[in-house]
Amino acid sequence: MKLDDLAACLETLGHSTRLAAFRLLVRAGRGGLAVGALQRHLDIPASTLSHHLSHLVAAGLVRQTREGRVLRCTADYARMDRIVAALTAECCVGVAEAEAAAEAVQC
């Protein structure tokens, strides 16, 4: 995942309402939730939810499908996995080099 793309996803999730909505969708599983159910859980006006969902959709974190009159939202688990992988990809890389440099400075 490119750094700019990762930053955009994290920026989108950096708002508490969007993070709460995304977490609800992750917990809901692959079936997702109807927008009305999301609104009831979050207890926010429909227009506010629509605004936040548009950000999540634009960042590729949420997908929406129309089922008759119902708009269903689902978390994009593959994208979520790529975000986590990008955040942890370099975990502990370079620690030995950093420790060696710190020891050299102390001598």
pLDDT, tens only, 37-79: 999 999 999 999 999 999 999 999 999 999 999 999 999 999 9
* Confidence (pLDDT) at 7: 95
Spatial distance between the Cα atoms of 60 and 6, rounded to a whole number of angstroms: 11
Whole-prediction pTM value?
0.84
User: DSSP alpha helices (H): ranges in the chain?
Assistant: 3-13, 16-28, 35-42, 46-58, 77-88, 95-106
Spatial distance between the Cα atoms of 90 and 88, rounded to a whole number of angstroms: 6
User: Which residue from 47, 44, 51, 61 is spatially nearest to 9, judged by alpha carbons?
Assistant: 61
Q: What is the CATH number of domain 3-106?
A: 1.10.10.10
Confidence of residue 105 (pLDDT cuts 50, 70, 90): low
Q: Is 92 left (phi over 0), alpha (psi -120 to 50) or beta?
A: left
